[in-house]
Amino acid sequence: MASDRRPILCLITDRRRLCPTCGDDAAVRCLLAQTQEAVACGVNFVQIREREMSGDALAGLVAASVAIARGSATRIIVNDRLDVALAAGADGVHLRSDSVPVSAARRIVPAGFLIGRSVHDAAEAASEGAGADYPIAGTVFPTSSKSGEVRVLGVEGLAGVVRAARQPVLAIGGMTLDRLPAVAAAGAAGIAAIGLFLAEDRGLPCRSGPFRESVLTYTRAFPR
């Protein structure tokens, strides 16, 4: 996935942050516009993480996203809903740390189907994350998107996950441009984020784009 040494970039969707004043239909249109922008910018993964959506609405969103990304290098990943991912033709699923084991999911998915896993420390990376195509490690830095008490991994903890994992590790949590060099130095293969892929707030309801310059900036923050 990272043979050219470019960082792996994973956009995680959040329609409430993307379009906070939108109704449901408008929010979905905004999400699809964000996916189009991600495809145009060469973002590797779009992880659809819309937990409050019903199964049928989520499946419709995923299928539309798959159609947008078809023929491109961008892969559509569904957060935890393996049933929806398979039914809608997604490229993969991202499993929460308390979800089904990777080995169980692997038995029922087709060849080439991607499986990611959330991990919170080196021990989880070596156990629950084993067999995943990519662990997402976090929360690396404090972030407003996580409420309540959150265990912060830190850069040293991220480096421990990288050492324990056999796969490329993506960092998540509190990702900002000034922190990306430290994330890269810890050995992460890339990042997963929500806020980094929100276009500048220009007073418009939908912040789907453009973010091409931002993606180029993130890429340059990772040394080749």
Per-residue tens of pLDDT for the chain, all 224 residues? 444 568 999 999 999 999 999 999 999 999 999 999 999 999 999 999 999 999 999 999 999 999 999 999 999 999 999 999 999 999 999 999 999 999 999 999 999 999 999 999 999 999 988 899 999 998 999 876 655 567 899 999 999 999 999 899 999 999 999 999 999 999 999 999 999 999 888 888 999 989 999 899 999 988 76
pTM of the model: 0.93
* CB-CB contact of 167 with 128 (8 Å): no
* Nearest CA among 101, 107, 47 for reference residue 74: 47
Structure-block tokens of residue 1: 């996935």
Dihedral, CA atoms, 169, 218, 51, 65, nearest 10 degrees? -100
Distance CA 37, CA 34 (A): 5
Model pLDDT, residue 149: 65
Model pLDDT, residue 172: 97
User: 91 CB contacts (<8 Å, ≥6 apart)?
Assistant: 66, 69, 75, 76, 77, 113, 114
> 194: which DSSP letter?
S
